[in-house]
Structure 1
Amino acid sequence: MGHTATSEAESGGLTATEYRLANGLRVVLSEDHLTPVAAVCLWYDVGSRHEVAGRTGLAHLFEHLMFQGSAQVTGNGHFELVQGAGGSLNGTTSFERTNYFETMPAHQVELALWLEADRMGSLLTALDQECLDNQRDVVKNERRQRYDNVPYGTAFERLTAMAYPGDHPYHHTPIGSMADLDAASLEDAQAFFRTYYAPNNAVLAVVGDIDPERTLAWIEKYFGSIPAHSGKPTPRDGSLPGGMGGEVREVVAEDVPSRALMAAYRLPHDGTREADAADLALTVLGGGESSRLHNRLVRRDRSAVGAGFGLLRLAGAPSLGWLDVKASSGVEVGAIETAVDEELARFAEHGPTAEEMERAQAQLEREWLDRLATVGGRADELCRAAVLFGDPQSALTAVKRVLEVTAEEVRSVAARHLRPDNRAVLVYEPTGGDAGSAPVEEEGENA
């Protein structure tokens, strides 16, 4: 066989073994015989950060095109075959990757591997102008339904553009612009696929009730003959010096149900101890109903009906701390902003209490355990660690690093980053209308 085993690690009873095929495909296998199911997860190292000006949205468009047929699977066949075998499937696009995944009854794993290999190796044989036009219209309609015609729907897009400079690879979000989608030609799409949908630009994880030797033989059989591609350009540098150096602010008058204060703070890159400290800080400040901002704004002041603070982890650029506060009826945003800044200043000075620290670490540990508890969640985490950090094993030890962070580190990262001069602020003033919700950063195929 043309593969090499590279390493094996164990954490809390979970193991992962790595291999690499001769064509560069990285493979991670993790046995778990608890239930008779298995997940197949494939991450391609391509997201909106890899796009160039004038051609945004291609990564997300391709996520849709990958479900439209390949050499041996026509039309909607991928969905039909997986669901007919009792499995589920989907795909999503983010700034930093595009992923595809199936959860199958254990005896149907070979089908999922064959399907993924068929479209990796032969999608271009089925990609024509009609298919491109059809899926371009689907994506444009998705943009209208999830962004343009939804209350607060463009908040994430606006804040991202404000938080990163105009020439920065993270300045635009995965959904892309209508104009760029219209401008994409069949030649653009074909070149994009050849460049990024190659085995040496992907990580395949198979997790669950599997026989590793047999699974690896299937992977070699179906993926091994797909040629590598050496033409991938070096992605643009996403690093930025220090903080934002001043607040950026925009007021939006829209048909939204209530006033809102939203903000994006630049935070440390994912994969660093500082990012884990920032995650803990945001959990204490805005991670649920026991958080400081919820207690202050919703319970005490009653100035808001909801207040949350979460971390969008990014490896190739500063991460974003995302603040979202929906105002109570009649309350001005200025009063909410004053209260938020008071809480952030108090936290920057004194940091979390021992009880808050313990609760935040337990909350992040529980979320991590929940992700690893399902075969699909574990496969995704293994792929993520391999693509973004080059080490799938780090997915199995991530929580240890969070539990090692000290309260002083949490206070310090908040003092350095959660400041008025390091944020983009979006204020919504309603003109009347119905309730809605803001989107997340991923673009997902809807099965």
Structure 2
Amino acid sequence: MLSNSAPFIFSFDRIKPILAATVLASSLVACSVNKETDSIALPAGVTLVETVEPLAEGINIPYKKYQLANGLTVILHQDKSDPLVHVDVTYHVGSAREQLGKSGFAHFFEHMMFQGSKNVADEQHFKVVTQSGGNLNGTTNSDRTNYYQTVPNNQLEKMLWLESDRMGFLLENITEEKFEVQRATVKNERGQNVDNRPYGRLNETINQMVFPRQHPYSWPVIGYMEDLDRGTVADLKAFFSRWYGPNNAVLTIGGDFDEAQTLAWVNKYFGSLKVGPKVENIAKEPISLAENRYYSFTDNVSLPLLYISYPTVYGMHEDEPALDVLANILGGGPTSLLYKNLVKSGVAVQAGTSHPCRELACQMSFFALPNPQQGMALAKIEQVINDTLVEFEQRGVNDDDLLKTKVSIETGTIYGLQSVAGKVSSLAHYQTMLGNADYTTEQVDRYNRVTKADVMRVFKQYIQGKGAAVLSIVPKGQEAFIAKENSFALPDVSNPPEVAVIDTPIMKNVSLFDRSVMPKSGENPQIKVPELWRAKLANGIEVIGTQNTETPTISLLLSLEGGPLLDSREKAGLASLTASLMNEGTTNYEKEQLSNELARLGSSISVAASGRNTYVQVSSLTKNLDATMDLMLDMMLNPKFAQADFDRVKNQLIQGLEQGNKDARTLAGRAFKQVTYGETSRLGLVDSGTVASVTAIELDDVKAFYQNYFSPAKASLVVVGDIDKSELLPKLEYIGLWKGKDYEISADYNFPEVTPNKLYFVDLPNASQSVIKLSRRAMPYDATGDYFKANLMNYPLGSAFNSRINLNLREDKGYTYGASSHFSAGKTLGQFSAGASVKKEHTYDAMKEIEQELAQYQKAGMSNAEAAFMRQAISQNEALSFETPSQKGGFLRQILQFDLPVNYGEKQTEIINTVSLSELNSIASKELAKPMQWIVVGDGQVVRPQLEKLPYEIVDLTLAK
């Protein structure tokens, strides 16, 4: 999937994924396991393994576990709250199962598994799931590969048919052509997400430094391109036959389904598949470094980065929880020692610590990016980190350190239970890694048992005085900033040793029934739109809410209309900077104190500005709402606005903008704004402004912006959670007493004309991929008019995975990892764009293909089959629209923002089902004939000669600084 460039300079996960979605605080959970015979008559060959019952009080994930005769583990979790099902198939094979010199095969197979099987035509897996109203994807990591789809519950049998066909009958459909197309796609994925991204090679390099060449974690999941180039179809088939048998898989189904019928389907589609070779767990061998290993390289970045990684234990080791607590103390946010010593002091603009764990190994990692105002030398950063470790030894562990970890487990668990997908992924993970899906109680107990002494012990055992991999990444030409001269050489991966061919018979299954017949869908489920309530506070703030009792949580979103639209162009970024500074503490709490209070509550509060709003976002456990709202009001009404905080946050924003100048997708976004809305308009700049505009902002500007625009005059509030209207409204009285003056939002726009005869080019030397974007202004948002119908028209052209543009550029030509076209819009403005990140050698070719696709669609429109696909996919997807609190909140926000009737979805469904093909094609003819302009970001030496073949004037675009 394509991802947007992050607004931060550098980031990595602060909460261990294994915890955030799965573990339960012991005060909330205990499990009841009954291994007696179940009342359901089981199909032949299906055995009930265990039943975990729901608790009368507290939280757990009830399920039943079965096993088929061929070894397939099946876990069923019932959740009747929404008419959907989530199906996950997890194979205990990741890059760690690969052979030296044959890296990337597990990830390669993730791609191949979507390319059709014996009874599923090419590109049909995506099409069938999408047309069923579902969402799907697959992921690969070091230890496992999973494939999943969420669909309306009437589509369950069809999903089991799809998954079983690729488990048992994939190899018969693999061809050299498909192999080569996906090899090109994987290369494009690496180009987009690794080679063309600042710091993109960090993880790959650090793992080469920590692990011996023969260790399976020493190579990246995506693989080395040299290894993929050497791979053959025969290699791929052998790898699949070795690892993708049912006995090495877990099928987990969650949602609203009939259990007896589901077991019958599972047995029908999976039961006859042959057992694969026996799979043993990989031995866990401890890794340690005798001394520090130093290595450095240059990258297209604006700031140096220091990354230090200590090998520790392995996933589920008894010392893992204590090491997690240690990581949080050292570098887990504003209450940590590294934040105090590096960020608060101004030595670094960002710093942190993490302790991610995999099945075979964990690493305690520290990172920091220096503040140019205090020097760029990474040796200084390393010294501060080392001094911080000495400080910790003297400081020790306090009660809050342990409490915050335990609270984060509780809240992370509860939020992970908000979706069926979250619960299914938890069950599948524990079953795959431990053979025990019912591990939540023990997992949380491990963390509750951590003592202060444990944390000090693991610090001394795994960190203090131990060797680490120390990586310096510096801008080109600034090698003097590295921490220390290289003492380590990366292994040569271009010529691996010869390895034995996998001696596994090629998988061959024979079906006992006609699998070529796709199962029919069941009766369409009844969709329940959330019941909502409305109110108006004393100061006029509109409130809209809905009660959601599935988890004991509450979320609030306070929106103040205006946001970046209220900036002047000369001080663009003022709204964003003001919002960021409101997170830095109040007149009653320093930032560290505020963060500590929120951590103890398991709550989060953030202020941000984007689009046409400033937002205050709050998440809380229901039981802690009162205390959380007290902190929310303090942040809103008593911001500290200290000069030191302003200087630090402003500098961080400037450094983030500088880093964006090194990222192709970020540059393309800036170019789009400037070309589309004009150099003299505030709208021609991104929300965060430019280096020059942010540099011009003073603290008095922030204070004035807050006084003028942080007001209830144009505010609205959305509430979703485990609380009813009568109980909540009294808690909102203080917000209703909030006063502020009204203000105007300018709508005096003077945009430049679209120039279809010009191509705007931004040179990014040495970029491995080009970002191409054909775009124009379009209509503003409406729920049932031109904008809505234009999106229906565009769906087969560029919105679905199986759209014409994506299948052409990704699957047929191999130019990109993903291509699309889309309309996007707000209250007053809208855009249309088509584009992709593409191989720089094929920039011209990709642009011509997009032009031809748009021209053909504009001329002939969509086919009857495409129209039917669109109608089914979009209308049936509504069953997935209201599952989580965030989805419900988005629905309510839409109603408020655009003044929509509650039942606007019914009108949309009617339009989807009745709009004629001729009307949709008339829209295509009109909208796609409107003039558009190309924006291209890429390596000028390679790309510019290609662009000169196009019939456009090339404008070298100078972006606003």
Instruction: Give the TM-score, by structure 2 length.
Output: 0.44
1:348/1:389 Cα in 2 relative to 1: closer, same or farther (>3 Å)? farther
Instruction: Give the secondary structure class of the aligned counterpart of 1:421.
Output: coil
Give the C-alpha shift of residue 144 in structure 1. Answer: 1.5
Does the alignment pair 1:237 with 2:280?
A: no
Work out which of the residue numbers 282, 289, 293 in structure 2 matches 1:248: 293
1:422/1:390 Cα in 2 relative to 1: closer, same or farther (>3 Å)? farther
Give the C-alpha shift of residue 16 in structure 1. Answer: 2.0
Q: Counterparts of 1:145-294 in structure 2 under 5 Å?
A: 145-230=192-277, 232=279, 234=280, 237-240=283-286, 243-294=288-339
Query: Whose RCO is larger (CA < 8 A, sep 6+)?
Result: 1
Q: How many residues align?
A: 436
Find the aligned partners of 1:56 and 1:252 in 2 and give their Cα distance.
23
Give the C-alpha shift of residue 274 in structure 1. Answer: 0.8
| Deviation string, structure 1 residues 130-152 (Cα, Å, up to 9, x no partner) | 00111011101111211122211
Give the C-alpha shift of residue 333 in structure 1. Answer: 1.4
Instruction: Give the secondary structure class of the aligned counterpart of 2:239.
Output: helix
| Deviation string, structure 1 residues 89-113 (Cα, Å, up to 9, x no partner) | 1111111111111112222222222
Aligned to 1:430: 475
Find the aligned partners of 2:154 and 2:393 in 1 and give their Cα distance.
54
How large is the Cα RMSD of the aligned pairs? 2.1
**1:245 is aligned with what amino acid?**
A
Find the aligned partners of 1:33 and 1:407 in 2 and give their Cα distance.
43
Does the alignment pair 1:40 with 2:80?
A: no
1:446/1:103 Cα in 2 relative to 1: closer, same or farther (>3 Å)? farther
Does the alignment pair 1:302 with 2:302?
A: no
1:268/1:295 Cα in 2 relative to 1: closer, same or farther (>3 Å)? same
**2:452 is aligned with what amino acid?**
A
Work out which of the residue numbers 412, 424, 427 in structure 2 matches 1:382: 427
Find the aligned partners of 1:341 and 1:128 in 2 and give their Cα distance.
54
Find the aligned partners of 1:196 and 1:446 in 2 and give their Cα distance.
28
Q: Counterparts of 1:371-410 in structure 2 under 5 Å?
A: 371-395=416-440, 397-410=442-455
**2:186 is aligned with what amino acid?**
V
Instruction: Give the secondary structure class of the aligned counterpart of 1:273.
Output: coil
* 8 Å Cα contact 1:51/1:58 also seen in 2: yes
Aligned to 1:85: 132
Find the aligned partners of 2:259 and 2:394 in 1 and give their Cα distance.
52
Instruction: Give the secondary structure class of the aligned counterpart of 1:363.
Output: helix
Give the C-alpha shift of residue 8 in structure 1. Answer: 2.2
Q: Counterparts of 1:39-188 in structure 2 under 5 Å?
A: 39-188=86-235
Find the aligned partners of 2:352 and 2:152 in 1 and give their Cα distance.
38
Instruction: Give the secondary structure class of the aligned counterpart of 1:427.
Output: strand
* 8 Å Cα contact 1:94/1:174 also seen in 2: yes
Aligned to 1:326: 369
Instruction: Give the secondary structure class of the aligned counterpart of 2:319.
Output: helix
* 8 Å Cα contact 2:111/2:182 also seen in 1: yes
Give the C-alpha shift of residue 4 in structure 1. Answer: 0.8
**1:92 is aligned with what amino acid?**
T
* 8 Å Cα contact 1:255/1:434 also seen in 2: no
Instruction: Give the secondary structure class of the aligned counterpart of 1:157.
Output: helix
* 8 Å Cα contact 1:40/1:204 also seen in 2: yes
Aligned to 1:440: none
| Deviation string, structure 1 residues 8-51 (Cα, Å, up to 9, x no partner) | 23562421221100010011111122222221111101111111
Instruction: Give the secondary structure class of the aligned counterpart of 1:258.
Output: coil
Aligned to 2:74: 27
* 8 Å Cα contact 2:84/2:150 also seen in 1: yes
Instruction: Give the secondary structure class of the aligned counterpart of 2:227.
Output: helix
Find the aligned partners of 2:414 and 2:391 in 1 and give their Cα distance.
31
Give the C-alpha shift of residue 276 in structure 1. Answer: 1.5
* 8 Å Cα contact 1:261/1:324 also seen in 2: yes
Aligned to 1:442: none
Find the aligned partners of 1:221 and 1:306 in 2 and give their Cα distance.
54
| Deviation string, structure 1 residues 216-268 (Cα, Å, up to 9, x no partner) | 22111111111111265x56534125x32211111222221201111221122
* 8 Å Cα contact 1:50/1:235 also seen in 2: no
**1:342 is aligned with what amino acid?**
D
1:33/1:381 Cα in 2 relative to 1: closer, same or farther (>3 Å)? same
* 8 Å Cα contact 1:372/1:381 also seen in 2: no
Does the alignment pair 1:4 with 2:47?
A: yes
Find the aligned partners of 1:421 and 1:132 in 2 and give their Cα distance.
45
* 8 Å Cα contact 2:303/2:659 also seen in 1: no
Instruction: Give the secondary structure class of the aligned counterpart of 2:352.
Output: strand
Find the aligned partners of 1:371 and 1:344 in 2 and give their Cα distance.
33
1:212/1:406 Cα in 2 relative to 1: closer, same or farther (>3 Å)? farther
| Deviation string, structure 1 residues 361-404 (Cα, Å, up to 9, x no partner) | 21233223322332112211111111111111114652332222
Give the C-alpha shift of residue 346 in structure 1. Answer: 2.7
Find the aligned partners of 1:326 and 1:214 in 2 and give their Cα distance.
56
Find the aligned partners of 2:440 and 2:183 in 1 and give their Cα distance.
35
Find the aligned partners of 1:446 and 1:379 in 2 and give their Cα distance.
28
Give the C-alpha shift of residue 407 in structure 1. Answer: 2.3
**1:322 is aligned with what amino acid?**
S
Instruction: Give the secondary structure class of the aligned counterpart of 2:365.
Output: strand
Instruction: Give the secondary structure class of the aligned counterpart of 1:150.
Output: coil
1:322/1:446 Cα in 2 relative to 1: closer, same or farther (>3 Å)? farther
Find the aligned partners of 1:190 and 1:313 in 2 and give their Cα distance.
30
Aligned to 1:314: 358
**1:250 is aligned with what amino acid?**
Y
Question: Alignment identity in percent?
Answer: 34
Aligned to 1:351: 396
**1:248 is aligned with what amino acid?**
R
Find the aligned partners of 2:238 and 2:123 in 1 and give their Cα distance.
23
Aligned to 1:441: none
* 8 Å Cα contact 1:264/1:321 also seen in 2: yes
Instruction: Give the secondary structure class of the aligned counterpart of 1:54.
Output: coil
Instruction: Give the secondary structure class of the aligned counterpart of 2:466.
Output: helix
Give the C-alpha shift of residue 129 in structure 1. Answer: 0.5
Q: Which moved more, 1:74-83 or 1:393-402?
A: 393-402
Q: Which moved more, 1:47-56 or 1:249-258?
A: 249-258
* 8 Å Cα contact 1:264/1:320 also seen in 2: yes
1:103/1:251 Cα in 2 relative to 1: closer, same or farther (>3 Å)? same
Instruction: Give the secondary structure class of the aligned counterpart of 1:261.
Output: strand
Instruction: Give the TM-score, by structure 1 length.
Output: 0.92
Instruction: Give the secondary structure class of the aligned counterpart of 1:14.
Output: coil
Find the aligned partners of 1:403 and 1:334 in 2 and give their Cα distance.
38
Give the C-alpha shift of residue 347 in structure 1. Answer: 2.4
Aligned to 1:416: 461
* 8 Å Cα contact 1:347/1:414 also seen in 2: no
